[in-house]
Amino acid sequence: MTTLTLLAHGVGESADLPLPLDLVLQAGAATVVLSFLISAFWWRRPKLIAAEPRPLRVPAALRYLVLALAIYVAGNAVLGPRGPENPAAHALFVWLWVGLIPLSVVLGPVWRAVNPLRTIFTLLRLPARGLRPLPPERTAGTWPAAAFLLGFVWFELAAPQHGDPVAVGVFLTWYALAQLALATWRGEDWFARGDCFEVYSELAGRLSPLHWRTPLSGLVAPLPAGAGVAAFIAVWWGSTVFDSASASPVWADVVRWAGSPVLSATAGLVVLCALVFLAVRWTAGRLDVTASLIPIAVGYTLAHYLSLLLVEGPRGVLLLVQQWGIGAGASWDPALDPQVIAGAQIALILIGHVLGVVVAHDRALAADPDRPPPAVLADELPLVLFMIGCTWAGLFLLFVR
């Protein structure tokens, strides 16, 4: 797991940036401001219309293959080798947590289509009879998924020995049993609001050009009711920011002062996610800006874990097949160019923020088409300032440590 941690933040530091850090920060702020001004002057009427998504169908054989792989990874984590040759950590922290993002952005909500927990639920035909249904106002909420996501990121970022294959196997088993028990209690619809990986894939999949017939239409399609999605994005985004911040010398000093790495990480993670949630709710004001945060979270996650995905993703596959006697002696050690990676990270963050500004502006216009443009822009100003701060924080944390 040490290699995974080292690569999570990229292969270079501020010295590897294609421009000086202060110019990169200025360019980030200028990009957000310019996208806001261009939208304000050239986007006078709402243009994004929610369209019906294309159905995402996968062969039954693929669902069973994913189920078999999931069972193998969990079993091998507990019963297999305890050393770095076990691919359990790669499967959970790279393939699922990071790899699910680009797959969903391209194809749509793929995890719902291949979710092994849904497959088990269907195969066992677990009943949900005699149970009181959830009230309508709570049926669509995603607060349970936000809670499970917080549990996952705590395990990834704060739990001791989280890279130990046995710990990974125990976590996967606990997660599967908890989800299946709750689905048995509430019905199969539980997965759509309680399985954090399914919600994670569904939100990222709203950017998919293949799943949604019109570009960005997925970001204006209705979201689940309530503040659960905002809480989910706050945990998703806040945990990634915490992962960057916890690699800094300042955080090392905090841990030394507190005397307990686990308690420090737990408190820091929870507080940061809570602050992001409160900032989002306060910034929103009279606007619902939740959908505009999805491309920002996607962009920052891909930027933060880019080198991890490129290096450790294929390496995990190699470790897996080598356990089956295939490719013995082969290795995967690509020499990534730090400047290329840094440039890609900057681009991902800025693209995410530009899309966020455009979507937020369109939703502000749609919320009240007769509202005078200056009033609409005034409503958006806190969000723009918030995005500038997030751009600076994201770039700074990626390249200064």
**How many separate domains does the chain show?**
1
Domain of 166 in residue numbering reads as 2-125+139-399
pLDDT, greater one: 111 or 361: 111
Contact in structure between 272 and 241 (CB atoms under 8 Å): yes
pLDDT of residue 10: 45
Q: Please indicate, yes or no, if residue 192 is contained in any of the structural domains.
A: yes
Contacts of 179 by beta carbon, 8 Å cutoff, 6+ apart: 117, 148, 190, 191, 194, 195
| Cα–Cα distance for residue pair 149/270, rounded to 1 Å | 12
307-317 pLDDT per residue, tens: 999 999 999 99
**Residue 380, in any domain of the structure:** yes
Q: To 10 degrees, what angle do helices 21-42 and 338-367 make?
A: 30
* pLDDT tens sequence across 296-349: 999 999 999 999 999 999 999 999 999 998 988 888 888 888 888 888 988 999
Q: Rounded to an integer, what is the distance from CA 60 to the centroid of its chain?
A: 27
Lowest mean pLDDT among 34-48, 53-67, 113-127, 139-153: 34-48
Q: Is the dihedral of CA 376, 377, 379, 380 positive or negative?
A: positive
pTM of the model: 0.90
User: Side chain identity at 272, as an amino acid letter?
Assistant: L
Quick one: what percent of the chain has pLDDT higher than 90?
A: 47
Radius of gyration of the chain (CA): 21
pLDDT at residue number 4: 67
CA dist., res. 204 & res. 109, Å (int)? 7
Identify the pLDDT of residue 2: 55
> What value does the mean pLDDT take over residues 168-181?
96
Higher pLDDT, 6 or 276: 276
Q: Is the pLDDT of residue 3 over 70?
A: no
pLDDT in tens, 69-109: 999 999 999 999 998 899 999 999 999 999 999 999 999 99
For residues 38, 357, 387, 278, the Cα torsion angle rounded to the nearest 10 degrees is 140
Helix or strand holding residue 259 (H, E)? none
* Residue 215 lies inside a defined structural domain of this protein: yes
Interaxial angle between packed helices 249-258 and 261-284, expressed in degrees from 0 to 180 and rounded to the nearest 10: 120
At residue 286 the predicted structure's pLDDT band, cuts being 50, 70 and 90, is: low
In a domain, 265, yes or no: yes
| Confidence bin at 11 (pLDDT 50/70/90) | very low
Residue 53 — φ and ψ, nearest 5°? -75, 155
Distance, in Å, from the CA atom of 178 to the CA atom of 208, rounded to the nearest integer, reads 30
Residue 115 CA to residue 119 CA, distance in Å, equals 6
Residue 225 covered by a domain: yes
